[in-house]
Structure 1
């Protein structure tokens, strides 16, 4: 599973970091990035929860 953050939609709320800090990081500009974009085994459910709870719907799953 891979995820990506749309930098044009992200507003830096940080929900993704709260729900899955192993995958999502904050850039110096205050917006989230997926790092690594490949979600490690065992963290898929946390990443999906972050996708579902993003207030700006800025996170997408890439298959």
Structure 2
């Protein structure tokens, strides 16, 4: 699955980074960066938790 972020909605509050730090990172400018846009067996559950926790629904998974 591919990870997509709607940067117009994203508030860079770092909840996603806390749940999946190998995938999401808030940089020094408080901008969210994706370390990868692909899920793996190892990170899929953490990414799903991050998607569910995003207060602005800015993160989604697509096939």
The alignment's TM-score, normalised by the length of structure 1, stands at: 0.87
After superposing on structure 2, the runs of 4+ consecutive aligned residues of structure 1 that deviate more than 4 Å are none
- Quick one: distance in 2 between partners of 1:26 and 1:4? 15
Which consecutive residues of structure 1, in runs of 5 or more, have no partner in the other structure?
A: none
Aligned residues: 63
TM-score for the superposition, normalised by structure 2: 0.87
Alignment gaps of 5+ in structure 2: none
Deviations 1:26-63 (A, max 9, x none): 24431213221012321100000000000111001011
